[in-house]
């Protein structure tokens, strides 16, 4: 999927010369947490978010540092913080030159950008014109849509077993040579040994994602490398809801 498949096309934006109060009001009225900032020609020049308003003079939340730390930080950074907490115009508090994507950017690339830049939304641009926004909420909507289009359930226990084995075989963390899979009436049982403690949970998730699986029971054993103690998972669950 690409940005154009999930983005919000109705973009609420604000001008750089608008006041902070106007920006806050727009966010509240439209129930959004960020605004692209566009100039008179419609070009993107920045972005302002709720995070830019966390430390404000009006609410008494300005950052307070010990005097010795202020000396280390220096006047330049202190002046920058003062502008962000006391500035009255959007252009004084906004993030300039925000990271952007195009309509053809893949969701995988967008998620990587969000993780790397620690942002919750990215503007979608065509040239310098903002044509959409992709936020974490849009990604959740995409997930919900994909979840509705689940593949058909396996026809038999043998089919389920093969699908589980095929999925495990494609995972670099799975000790497939040490594990066996048994399926009866849609219930998957995992037998064998694992080399790392987290592998048991991952293998159960792997089996749960195979269509037609009603439940997963683990009989996996893990040998603790330091003590040599054999730890058995041996967890059993009732049928999952909706099965």
| pLDDT at residue 240, rounded to an integer | 43
Higher pLDDT, 70 or 89: 89
For 107-117, how does the pLDDT look when each residue is reduced to its tens digit (9 = 90+)? 999 999 999 99
Q: Band the pLDDT of 223: cuts 50, 70, 90.
A: confident
| pLDDT at residue 154, rounded to an integer | 62
The answer to whether 211 and 154 have CB atoms below 8 angstroms apart is: yes
Find all residues with CB under 8 Å of 132, minimum gap 6, and list them: 3, 4, 7, 8, 9, 11, 103, 123, 124
| pLDDT at residue 243, rounded to an integer | 39
**Residue the block writes with tokens 């594990």:** 179
For 128-167, how does the pLDDT look when each residue is reduced to its tens digit (9 = 90+)? 899 999 999 999 888 887 766 666 666 799 999 999 999 9
For 9-39, how does the pLDDT look when each residue is reduced to its tens digit (9 = 90+)? 989 999 999 999 999 999 999 999 899 999 9
Q: Is the pLDDT of residue 242 over 60?
A: no
| pLDDT at residue 159, rounded to an integer | 93
Q: What is the mean pLDDT of the chain?
A: 88
How much of the chain, in percent, has pLDDT values that exceed 70? Answer: 89
d(CA 231, CA 197): 9
d(CA 56, CA 152): 53
Domain with CATH 3.30.1340.30 in the chain: 157-232
For the structural domain made of 157-232, what CATH number should be given?
Answer: 3.30.1340.30
Q: Is the pLDDT of residue 127 over 80?
A: yes
For 162-196, how does the pLDDT look when each residue is reduced to its tens digit (9 = 90+)? 999 999 999 999 999 999 999 999 999 999 989 88
Neighbours of 35 (CB within 10 A): 28
Name which CATH class applies to 3-146: alpha beta
What is the value of pTM for the model shown? 0.66
The answer to whether 222 and 197 have CB atoms below 8 angstroms apart is: yes
95, β-bridge pairs: 47
């Amino acid at each position: 999927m690409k940005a154009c498949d999930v983005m919000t096309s109705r973009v609420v934006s604000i001008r750089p010369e608008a006041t902070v109060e106007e920006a806050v009001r727009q966010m509240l009225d439209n129930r959004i947490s960020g605004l692209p900032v566009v100039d008179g020609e419609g070009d993107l020049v920045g972005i302002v978010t709720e995070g830019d308003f966390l430390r404000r003079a009006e609410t008494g939340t300005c950052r307070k540092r010990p005097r010795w730390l202020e000396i280390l930080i220096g006047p330049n950074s202190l002046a920058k913080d003062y502008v962000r907490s006391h500035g009255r115009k959007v252009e004084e508090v906004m993030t300039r030159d925000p990271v952007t994507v195009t309509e053809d950017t893949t969701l995988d690339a967008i998620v990587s950008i969000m993780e790397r830049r620690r942002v919750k939304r990215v503007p979608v641009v065509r040239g310098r014109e903002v044509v959409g926004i992709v936020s974490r909420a849009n990604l959740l909507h995409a997930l919900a849509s994909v979840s509705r289009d689940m593949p058909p359930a396996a026809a038999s226990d043998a089919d389920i077993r093969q699908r589980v084995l095929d999925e495990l075989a494609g995972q670099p963390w799975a000790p497939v040579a040490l594990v066996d899979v048994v399926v009866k009436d849609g219930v998957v049982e995992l037998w064998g040994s694992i080399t790392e403690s987290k592998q048991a949970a991952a293998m159960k998730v792997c089996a749960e994602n195979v269509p037609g699986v009603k439940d997963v029971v683990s009989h996996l054993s893990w040998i603790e490398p330091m003590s040599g103690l054999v730890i058995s998972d041996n967890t059993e669950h009732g049928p999952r809801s909706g099965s």
